[in-house]
Chain A
């Protein structure tokens, strides 16, 4: 009993969404709406990074929140709510990718075409859209497109960690929790994934291409 209480207290302290999630569990509409408000952008972003298709990412985001709504009472709070949400999103995205592959709507060509189109349409902004920096100046549209293509073509276990670490900027610890694997494994997968990307993108990294 004491152990449970201690765990509950720790969760309460660790998870900024603890109260909100509990209110949502009690069926409070406003609490769930606030969770949607807080996380819909992040779920959409991760979905978009994984699927690289605007319409699919939108559908997936809706699907994820529906799952969360249906299962929120089963969420025991052993991880942070956001970690659980990311797990659901990733699993749903991987299932979706596999489904689309099976339907032959998702071969490598279509991924590449989508991602290329995605740069200016799906991301809603053109390069460089951020405040001018030396970084932006050296990254051309072709590099941008190419790297998204290469990330998409990584084996799933590498792609997931790269998306989480390099595109969604999660910490090693968060990634380890989301994927339920040791932090060391996360680090080695990220290293391996970057190694692959480095080899494939060699001309873009040496300045031969921009």
Chain B
């Protein structure tokens, strides 16, 4: 091995990357070449210095993670997805209003019997007389003028949800209330609803959809408060079960509140 060849391999030598045979050859030459030894020592010192620098990891600002997540949220807001989500949430809120206006007084007026049978069907279904049937109100005519895309999204979400509700309602006499949590007002609505039904009914609160914007821990904390304030109310924690995620689009946290006699 010549001096030039040796110096070509100095990195591998210092980093222990040479084969045993190459290492022996390298050291043999090194021992016979003071100039080579001098050069190798400079490389060794260089690597030693960079190793010290490497160990001194630059410290990021303590709030960097929060800033990153906030920026992502801001981006979601600015590119319209946030507005999109808001609109979807608003649409579903209107569903609640329609349901609330139509059925809460009816439930309250049931008197001693307090038996409610509600069937939810997909958009376009008709009414039946004996059994109260609710037409899915998410149509352009009776909800609001929104883009077809948003309407379809909200409708799909609603329809897929109603099929589950339908199944439940076929089995038992109950009422299910859907609440999109979009602000503190939503929580007030939930609290009011639970005050009405906590006695004499079995009430279960279950988050059915969450989105990436929601601080889900806050939601769970609030739900736990709901539970404390309303003994007997079941509060389900969906943890982070992906099946509850609505994918790329969703409308904040949506609670399903089931009331059973």
Question: What is the interface of chain A, defined by CB distance below 8 A to chain B?
Answer: 23, 26-30, 32-33, 36-37, 40-41, 44-45, 48-49, 54, 57-58, 61-62, 65-66, 69-70, 122-125, 127-130, 135-136, 138-139, 143-144, 147-148, 162, 166-169, 172, 187, 190-191, 194, 197-198, 201-202, 204-206
Contacts and interface: CB of A to CB of B under 8 A. Distances in A.
A82 to B, nearest CB: 16
Which among A61, A187, A205 has the greatest number of chain B C-beta atoms within 10 A?
Answer: A205
B72 interface: yes
Contacts of B64: 40, 44, 58, 61-62
Contacts of A49: 58
Pairs A-B, 9 closest by C-beta atoms: A29-B212, A124-B59, A166-B50, A48-B58, A44-B60, A205-B42, A205-B45, A65-B68, A167-B54
Contact of A28 (B52, B75, B245): B245
B49 A147 contact: yes
B140 interface: no
A27 B46 contact: no
A65 B45 CA distance: 36
A122 B261 CA distance: 64
A72 to B, nearest CB: 11
B249 to A, nearest CB: 9
Contacts of A37: 65
B242 A26 contact: yes
B99 interface: no
A70 B248 CA distance: 12
10 contacts: A23-B242, A41-B57, A57-B58, A58-B67, A61-B64, A61-B68, A62-B68, A66-B71, A122-B58, A205-B41
Given A190-B11, A206-B42, A136 B72 contact: no
Nearest to B71: A62
Contacts of B53: 144, 147-148, 166-167
Which among A26, A44, A128, A130 has the greatest number of chain B C-beta atoms within 10 A?
Answer: A44
Nearest to A197: B46
B212 A144 contact: no
Contact of B49 (A66, A128, A139): A139
A127 B52 CA distance: 10
Contacts of A167: 50, 53-54
A106 B39 CA distance: 34
A202 B71 CA distance: 45
Nearest to A199: B42
Contacts of A187: 11-12
Contacts of A197: 46
Nearest to B56: A123
A30 B240 contact: yes
Nearest to A122: B58
Given A27-B212, A139-B49, A205-B45, A191 B11 contact: yes
Contacts of A65: 68, 71-72
B247 A45 contact: no
B58 A27 contact: no
Contacts of A206: 42
A113 to B, nearest CB: 17
A26 B58 contact: no
A122 B55 CA distance: 14
Nearest to B61: A58
Nearest to B11: A191
